[in-house]
Structures are given as structure tokens and as C-alpha cells.
Amino acid sequence: MRMYDLIHAKKRGGALTEAEIRFWVDGVVDGSIPDEQSASMLMAICWRGMTTEETLALTLAMRDSGKVMDLSSIPGVKVDKHSTGGVGDKTTLILGPLVAACGVPCAMFSGRGLGHTGGTVDKFAAVPGLRVELSDADFLKSLRETGFANSAQTPDLVPADRRLYALRDVTATVESIPLITASIMSKKLAGGCGALVLDVKCGSAAFMSNLEEARGLAQSLVSVGKAYGMRVKALITRMEEPLGRTIGNALEVRECIEILQGRHVDSDLARMSLRLAAEMVLMGGGAQSLPEAEAKVQEALASGAALGVLRAFIALHGGDARVVDEPGRLPQAPCRRVVRAAAAGWVARMDGRELGLAAMELGAGRRSQQDIIDPAVGLELEVAVGQAVAAGQALATLYGASEGALDQVQDRVQLAIQVGGVTQISMPWLLETLE
Ligand code: URA
């Protein structure tokens, strides 16, 4: 078999066989296929697409490029959640403990952030001392003892995705439904869970900017998961403005702790986290219906049981569990500045992408994989879309390492929060569900 012939076939719109796809993926991992040939294949797939059979074969070949977790020693259906990536998306820190507190084991491997979106691993890493890269033994121990396990993806889990994703990132080939599907689902299958809830983001701050594209991705992810025996459901959710009030790692951890303490429970972040948790409890067999699952999740919140899971999880992995009761112990930025409304009006729009980039500029995210994150910095929104504001009213608070760093982003934040002359109807966070 020659890689040249496979690229040529795909360039002309042909379908690759399972053996051909495996030949390519194996060659990516063992280095026998050079990057330029893989990059050409990726571009050909972007233009020509893949059939369902090809997407299934690519997913499996990628899963098999590394280790597959065996969670069978833990009883029950293990559940996972995946979000396609959003600004301020911190639902994992809330829903993981909630699901575990309902008696359903929740096992997740998470990523680090890149560009304007954050990563769950970076958020957990803001907790002083907390180990975020768990060995298999520690991952299983966590699941057994607390019902919740979250670890950074280790290099031996789907190594083909590391290589291919790095190539996609520099060749403008990220936005392809079959490639995104195989990338996400190979990692989810390798993670070993039996049920998965997908949060497919839709909007200007997401990969999929309109409902039609988001539906296409959701459908593709669900059908691949089902074909391999997983229970899967997708929720398509809006991603225009940031999710929640904070962007930046320690700030986001604090916001999650506050929700688990029962505060801000009428926010979109809380509603979304509780709904996703209920879907996971239902899929994991912890309830017979969605209303029953929702009631269980509410009880896990109200009783403090979910907060207890988070406390136990942090303590088990060397973190300072006192942050759960005293969030002031999280890293604090030395400089703060309030951004104020220039004139009275209504908050018309908040550009999630721009605010994510501003947080990244402050040091809360990475421009490239090698960048080091400052856990303390970021921003906190003081208003919501549709809210009336007076001239001079606080729109956001910036947290930075220096006054100079704050100077650099102040205008960007001011422009990203648009105050206009007409009121806005706030839009629902949940657009559609699909299973
Ligand atoms: N997230 C992934 O893990 N892979 C993609 O290709 C896109 C989003």
C-alpha cells in the first residue's frame, strides 16, 4: 500500500477502506508516514468529506493507536461528558461531583486550553497542590473512593490524535466534521465509559457557528458512539457570550465552588450544569426518568453531598481541600481594575471570543502549547446581556499580574461588552437535544 495512492483516491472523492485508514493512522504513530503526506490527506478529507463507514473506521483506528482504559473493576455504568469547547465553560467541575454524589461513577479525561477557550485541566490545576495527571491506579482509586475521576489525557491515550491535531492546527484543517468526530470519539472510547453526554456548542464563540452545522456534528458524534455500543445523547447549547461570570482558572474554580455551595443557582451556568448532570445520572442508570434524575441532582446540591465529593477528590490527589470552604485560598492576582460603561443603556452583546482572547492575553490561556498559564488572572463579568446599565456602572473586573497587563486588555474588554440603546431578550441556553 502506498500513502500517495490513498491521498490521490481521497483527492478525487473516493472512499478509503478500513485497511487503508488503519495503514495511514499506524503510519502516523510509528513515523513511517511523513507529516506532509498526512497534511495532504487531512486537507483532502476537509474538502471531500468521509462516508459514515470511513468515519467509523478512522475513529477505531485512532482509538487503537494507544491504550484503552479498563474501568470494569468499578461496578455500574461509567459516565462521561464532552463539550466541544467554549469560553468560560466550567461545567465539568460542577457536574462531576453532582453525578458522583447521585451514585453514578463519573470518569473523565480532560484537555488543556488553547486559544480563546479554556481547558478543564488548567482549571483544576489552579487548586494549590492538586495533581492533575493521574496514573491509571490513582484514576481508578479516585473513581472507587469518591465516585469521580478527572485526569489530563496521558500521552499513551490516542497518540494518533496528538500528532494529527497538531498538524490540523497549523494546516487550517480543524473544521471538518469527520475529523472532529474521530478526534473526539476515539478519545471518549479510549476513556472506557459506557455512556456519554455531549455538549455541542453553537454560536460565534464556538467551532460550529450555526444550528445546521452544530446538528451535523452532533448527529455524527452520536451515531459513531452508538455504533460502538455507547449510550450517547447530545445537547446543542448556545455559545455567544461566556458561560458564567468568570474567565480565568482560579476565578472559574471559585465560581464553581459557589454554585456547589448553592449560590447563583438561577444562572445559565448552574442550570446547564444541573441539566447535563441529570442527563448523565439518567444514562448511568441512577434514575428512571429525567425528572427523577433532576430531583436527585437537586438533592445532591442542596444536601452539600456534591461539595463533599469535590472536597474528597481534591484531598485524595494532594490538593488543598480547604479551598472548598474558603475559596480565598485560591491564587489571587496582585492587580485589579474595573471596566465601566461609557454611557447608560442596555447590554446588547458580549463577544465571548473577544473576552476569551482578552483573558488569554492576561495569561489565563495559551497562545501556543508551550505557554505557561497564570492561574490567578482573568476577568469577571459584572453584567449580563439584556441588563440595563447606568453611565459609569461596572461592566467587568480585570485581574492581572501587573498594571501594564491590564492596560493591554482594557480597551478590548470595553469593546467586547456592547452597551446599546435598545433592550435585548435573553436567549435560551439549550437549543436542541439529539439522541
Ligand atoms: N476537540 C477535539 O478533541 N478534537 C477536535 O478535533 C475538535 C475539538
Tell me which of 324, 353, 371 is where a domain ends: 324
Ligand 1 centroid from CA 417, angstroms: 28
Give residue 269's pLDDT. 95
Confirm if 273 and 246 have CB atoms less than 8 A apart: no
Pocket test for ligand 1, best of 174, 186, 189, 220 (most atoms within 8 A of CB): 174
* 244, 350 contact by CB (below 8 A): no
CA 24 – CA 65 distance, rounded (Å): 11
Cα radius of gyration (the chain): 22
Residue 281 and residue 406 share a domain = no
Q: Is 184 in the pocket of ligand 1 (CB under 6 A)?
A: yes
Q: Does a structural domain hold residue 72?
A: no
Closest CA to 112 of 319, 371, 333: 371
Are residues 336 and 370 both part of a single domain? Answer: yes
Q: What is the CATH number of the domain that holds 412?
A: 3.90.1170.30
CA distance 408 to 426: 30
Closest Cα to atom 2 of ligand 1 = 184
Cα dihedral sign for 404, 410, 411, 413?
Answer: positive
Q: What is the reported pLDDT for 426?
A: 73
pLDDT for 407: 98
Same domain assignment for residues 42 and 103:
no
Instruction: Note the pLDDT of residue 61.
Output: 98
Calculate the dihedral angle through the C-alpha atoms of 386, 389, 394, 397, rounding to the nearest 10 degrees: 10
- Give 265's DSSP letter: T
Residues tagged active-site: 82, 161, 168, 183, 187
User: How many whole angstroms from 180 Cα to the centroid of ligand 1?
Assistant: 5
Same domain, 36 and 129: no
319 and 336 housed in the same domain: no
Range of the domain at 251: 79-324
The verdict on residue 54 lying in a domain is no
Clarify whether residues 112 and 229 are in a common domain.
yes
Pocket of ligand 1 contains residue 143 by CB under 6 Å: no
Domain membership of residue 64 (yes or no) is no
Residues 186 and 305 in one domain: yes
Residue 55 lies inside a defined structural domain of this protein: no
| CA separation for the pair 102, 99 (Å, rounded) | 5
- Shared domain check, 160 and 192: yes
Helical axes 305-316 vs 91-101, angle rounded to 10° = 110
The CATH number assigned to the domain holding 252 equals 3.40.1030.10
- Per-residue confidence (pLDDT) for residue 421, from 0 to 100: 84
Report the separation in Å between the CA atom of 90 and the middle of ligand 1, taken as the mean of its atom positions. 17
Whole-angstrom distance, CA of residue 132 vs CA of residue 122: 9
Are 200 and 210 within 8 A, CB to CB? no
365 and 311 housed in the same domain: no
Stated pTM of the model: 0.94
What is the dihedral sign for C-alpha 289, 290, 296, 300?
positive
Domain count, the chain: 3
Q: Examine the domain organization and report whether 179 and 212 are in the same domain.
A: yes
Q: Is 201 helix (H, G, I), strand (E, B) or coil?
A: strand
Q: What cell numbers appear for 313 in the block?
A: 477528590
Question: What is the rounded end-to-end Cα distance, in angstroms, of the chain?
Answer: 38
Q: What is residue 42's predicted lDDT score, i.e. its pLDDT?
A: 97
To which residue does cell 485589579 refer? Answer: 336
Is residue 180 within 6 Å of ligand 1 at its C-beta? yes
Instruction: Per-residue pLDDT tens, the chain, 435 aa: give them.
Output: 999 999 999 999 999 999 999 999 999 999 999 999 999 999 999 999 999 999 999 999 999 999 999 999 999 999 999 999 888 999 999 999 999 999 999 999 998 876 777 789 999 999 999 999 999 999 999 999 999 999 998 889 999 999 998 899 888 898 899 999 999 999 999 999 999 999 999 998 787 889 999 999 999 999 999 999 999 999 999 988 999 999 999 999 999 999 999 999 999 999 999 999 999 999 999 999 999 999 999 999 999 999 999 999 999 999 999 999 999 999 999 999 999 999 999 999 999 999 999 999 999 998 877 888 999 999 999 999 999 999 999 999 999 999 999 999 999 999 999 999 877 777 889 999 999
Assess whether 90 and 185 both reside in one domain. yes
Residue with the nearest Cα to atom 6 of ligand 1?
Answer: 180
Same domain, 123 and 215: yes
Beta strands, E only, 125-166: 148-152
**Cα separation, 409 vs 412, whole angstroms:** 5
In a domain, 299, yes or no: yes
